[in-house]
Chain A
């Protein structure tokens, strides 16, 4: 049994590893985040919500996962 390949990404400023082939949707699920009001930026480009389950993470990706919070 060959262990799955892992990739390293920078997620909200912190290094993290994911299995190769992880989609944005799977990443959010692994993090325990409901994607209902989340938005994701990958390498400075917004990932459309409709593509969360199609876009896969790649080694070296810089990701931002944001949500809406109280503000003025």
Chain B
């Protein structure tokens, strides 16, 4: 089957709709294998102080994630103010030489829910500075529209709290976001297993970001494969158009011609 169903964000076009995070793997080797099996083209990374007390091991993340092969998407995870997020984004751009950033401005340490005002404020400034801003946000259609309106080329509403594995907690809000914004909707955070990924895609989401759901599985490489297939299956199901839900049965076999 010829498949030209691609995901377009800003000036990039992706065949894979699965974005994969690089946190929480036990080894770089396993992470690299999981990324390969996931089929992803977009890989998130974090920005942190170099630990100057430790002797450099010589190993660095980017030795295992080829920027020629993947779009490296730095995040501003751990930032609690717009100002911290701006500084982190600017450092990431200098380190990587790309203007893409996954914006996170966190509002609460226990839930890691985003701070709406901080996220919107930072998005506005970063867009003005030429960044391609993909904002992590609540499943809030009003905020999603505001983020689109300040120039974000996609929005990334959470399915559930980061790392919770609870799956899509509010499919109705996700559907409303899909109706509200014209930019791609990438579900970010809370996806625990393949069926969660499929549900997101069946709703019509344009993509999905998974980190803990893969890295935290007993066999991350196999889960990466499962997520890849689930995203593809869910996307096909969405495009195919599912049957309406009905309360009562509707026979699949002819009701006439039965023997007596």
| A residues apposed to B, CB below 8 Å | 11-14, 31-34, 36-41, 44, 46-49, 64-72
Contacts and interface: CB of A to CB of B under 8 A. Distances in A.
Interface string B154-190: 0000000011000000000000000000000000010
Contact of B31 (A33, A36, A47, A70): A70
A11 to B, nearest CB: 7
Contacts of A68: 45-47, 60-62, 72, 74, 92, 95-96
B146 to A, nearest CB: 24
Contacts of B49: 12-13, 64-66
Interface string B59-81: 01110000000001011010000
A8 B211 CA distance: 40
Contacts of A14: 52
A46 B56 contact: no
Given A37-B60, A39-B92, A49-B94, A69 B45 contact: yes
B50 A66 contact: yes
Nearest to B88: A66
B249 interface: no
Interface string B89-119: 0111111100000000000000000000000
A38 B25 CA distance: 22
Given A39-B94, A72-B212, 12 more contacts: A31-B50, A36-B60, A39-B92, A46-B90, A64-B87, A65-B52, A66-B48, A68-B46, A69-B48, A70-B25, A70-B61, A71-B47
A54 to B, nearest CB: 15
13 contacts: A12-B49, A12-B50, A36-B60, A37-B96, A40-B91, A41-B87, A46-B91, A64-B49, A65-B49, A66-B95, A67-B95, A68-B46, A69-B48
Nearest to A31: B52
Contacts of A40: 91, 94
A71 B62 contact: no
A40 B50 CA distance: 10
B95 A38 contact: yes
Contacts of A71: 21-23, 44-47, 75, 77, 211
A39 B25 contact: no
B15 interface: no
Interface in B1-56: 21-25, 31, 44-50, 52, 55-56
Q: Interface centre among A32, A38, A44, A46, by most B CB within 10 Å?
A: A46
Nearest to B19: A72
B62 A72 contact: no
Nearest to B45: A68
B132 interface: no
Nearest to B48: A69
Nearest to A12: B49
Shortest beta-carbon contacts, A-B, top 8: A71-B46, A72-B211, A72-B21, A39-B95, A70-B22, A39-B91, A70-B23, A39-B94
